[in-house]
Amino acid sequence: MQDGISLHHAASDDPDDRALASIFTAYTVSATFWLLFATAVGVLLAFKFGAPDFASGAWLTFGRLRPIHTNATFYGWASLGLVGVSYYVVVRSSGTQLYSKTLAWWGLALFNIAAVAGTIALDLGYNAGDLEYREWPWPIRIIFLAALVVTGWNLIATVAQRSTEEIYLSNWYILGGVLWTCIIAIVAILPWYQYGLGQVAVSGYYMHNAVGLWFTPLALGIFYYALPKLLNRPIYSYALGVFAFWTNLVFYPIIGSHHFLFSPLPWWLQTTAIVFSVAMLVPVWGGSANYLLTMRGRVRDMIHSYALLFIFVAVVNYLLSSTQGTLEAFRSLQEIWHLTNFTVGHSHWTMYGFITFAVWGGVYAMLPLATGKSAGRLGLALHFWMAVVGGTIYVLSLSIGGTVQGLDWVHGLPFIQSVVDMQPYWVWRGVGGTLMFLSHIVFGWNVWRMTYGRQGNAASPVLGPATEELA
């Protein structure tokens, strides 16, 4: 199976390699556009907390832009970014060529059509309800489902024609993630079991499964390819990776109702969700340990490879933010934190600190191998540090502010006091968010350097003896 992750020729003249490079490039460029758009909207939203009368027309009102921000982040940025890297990982780790270039381009078009149509619909006030992460009207979500089906078909067929005996671990996670998400999308669309409280139960299921069985497995699959590749050493334990795969699959789908603790959902459903939220520590700690042990003793290498540094931050955030999620699911802590901005801090710690850093790590590790061009160190450094500092300010300010907000309620203060007390934390959130946005502009520049930029600056992100081979 080590064949699967052995070094592959970078930027060859082989037409299949060039086609894969242009598909990887197109997905990444597309994703970068969505990242810039979604986070520009995010900055505007953050600004509105301090200046509610700024940009106050119907098309720019908070309630319409808020789902545009989340959906564009989920289905524009993170989905396209992860699928792009996944195409490269699946093809290379299977020691074969892509099954169908046409399907890959169709998938790209469908993902983008869905995201554009969804954004326009939400801005015009057409939505399927204020249902977290599934606000797009159902016909648009069918387009997204079609993109998933096309992608799953292409990836499975690619793995089916692999030249290796084993199916490399990355592909377990990636194929699983795509197929499970098809089921999630179908469950979310069908209406027959979604009336009143029944829809609340489906919302609980959906909003956590869409995160934990789509973004998480793809990001984890990318780690399993990128780390051995960057470090030129095998994964610490293949068996632990398989164990984390199955436990993640079984535990994750059960925890969704923890978003509705103290609601009229049946108490047993809420309690089951809490129990399995604790069980999630098994795949989270198991998986994180596997990645960190693979990196053991190579901390100094991060000085030389920003790709490795991005993935290291993503792994650490996966460990910490998921553990935080388990703690948050306890009723005693939910009493204070539920419905406050603490939750917003948590969702950014996971979607940004973990998933977004994972996409960046994957792109910086593999896009230069595909195109033969790399980003400059200054651009990488600026991107990394602004994103880390900005993200930290963002999460800290909302976590502290959310706690203050929750305690204000517990102390029975007039409600408006919790709004007044949040103001300084919202300002700091805006500062953090602005830094994050600036780092995305630098990321856009880095993507340009790695794709359309000048040839011949290919400093490989791969460390160790392999570096010389590649150079």
Partner 1 sequence: MNKLVLIVGGSTLVYFCLAMLMGVIPGYELSKTPPGPGVEPLTGLQAEGRDVYVAEGCSYCHTQQVRPLNQDKIFGRPSAAGDFAYQTPELLGSERTGPDLTTIGTRQPSEVWQYIHLYNPRAVVPQSIMPSFAWMFDVVDELPKGETAVPLPAAYAPAKGTVVPSQQAKALVAYLMSLKQAPLPPGQGGAMAAAATPAATPAAAAVAPSTGGFDAAKGNAAVNDDDPTLHIHTVLYGAHDVIIGGVTYGSPMPPFASQLSDEDIVNIIDHERSSWGNHGKPVTAAQVAAERAKGN
Residues 294-353 that bind partner 1 (CB under 8 A): 335, 338-341, 343-344
Tell me whether residue 429 or residue 440 sits nearer to partner 1 (CB atom): 429
Q: Which range, of 186-194, 228-236, 308-316, 441-449, touches partner 1 by CB under 8 A?
A: 186-194
Q: Which is nearer to partner 1, 67 or 228 (CB)?
A: 67
Selected binder of partner 1 within 159, 222, 375, 393 (CB under 8 A): 159
| # residues contacting partner 1 (CB under 8 A) | 83
Find the shortest distance in angstroms from Cβ 81 to partner 1. 23
281, 289 Cβ separation under 8 angstroms: no
The smaller minimum CB distance to partner 1, of residues 245 and 306, is found at 245
Rounded to an integer, what distance in angstroms lies between the CA atom of residue 289 and that of residue 315? 9
Q: How far is the CB of 219 from partner 1 (least distance, A)?
A: 17
The reply on whether position 456 binds partner 1 by CB under 8 A is no
Q: Which of residues 122-151 bind partner 1 (CB under 8 A)?
A: 125-132
Which listed residue (8, 64, 233, 304) binds partner 1 by CB under 8 A? 64
* Residue 144 or 180 having the CB closest to partner 1: 180
**Of residues 251 and 364, the one with the C-beta less far from partner 1:** 251
When asked if residue 452 is in the footprint of partner 1 (CB under 8 A), the reply is: no
Show the tokens assigned to 75. Answer: 């289905």
11 near partner 1 (CB under 8 A): no
Contact string 31-60 vs partner 1 (x = CB under 8 A): -----------------xxx-xx--xxx--
To partner 1, the closest distance from the beta carbon of 8 in angstroms equals 22
In the region spanning residues 419 to 448, those forming contacts with partner 1, defined by CB under 8 A, are: 419-420
Helix (H, G, I), strand (E, B) or coil at 76: helix
Q: How far apart, in Å, are the Cα atoms of 218 and each of 162, 213, 362?
A: 19, 8, 11
- CB nearer to partner 1: give 102 or 161: 161
**Distance in angstroms (rounded) separating the CA atoms of residues 50 and 60:** 15
For the chain, the C-alpha Rg in angstroms (whole number) is 22
- Kindly report the CA angle at 432 between 426 and 437, in degrees rounded to 5? 120
Q: Which of residues 385-424 bind partner 1 (CB under 8 A)?
A: 409-410, 412, 414-417, 419-420
Nearer to partner 1, 67 or 118 (CB): 67
Which one of the spans 30-38, 178-186, 321-329, 386-394 is the region binding partner 1 (CB under 8 A)?
Answer: 178-186
The token duo for 42 is 């995010």
Cα–Cα distance between 87 and 158 in angstroms, integer?
Answer: 9
Residue 191 neighbours by CB under 8 Å, 6+ apart: none
Work out whether 67 is an interface residue with partner 1 (CB under 8 A): yes
Compare residues 15 and 196 and give the one whose CB is closer to partner 1: 196
Binding of partner 1 by 176 (CB under 8 A): yes
> Is 279 a residue that touches partner 1 (CB under 8 A)?
no
Minimum distance from CB of 96 to partner 1 (Å)?
13
Q: Is 164 in the site for partner 1 (CB under 8 A)?
A: no
Q: Of 222-261, which residues contact partner 1 (CB under 8 A)? A: 245-246, 249-250, 253-254, 256-257, 259-260
Q: How far is the C-alpha of 350 from the C-alpha of 317, rounded, in Å?
A: 7
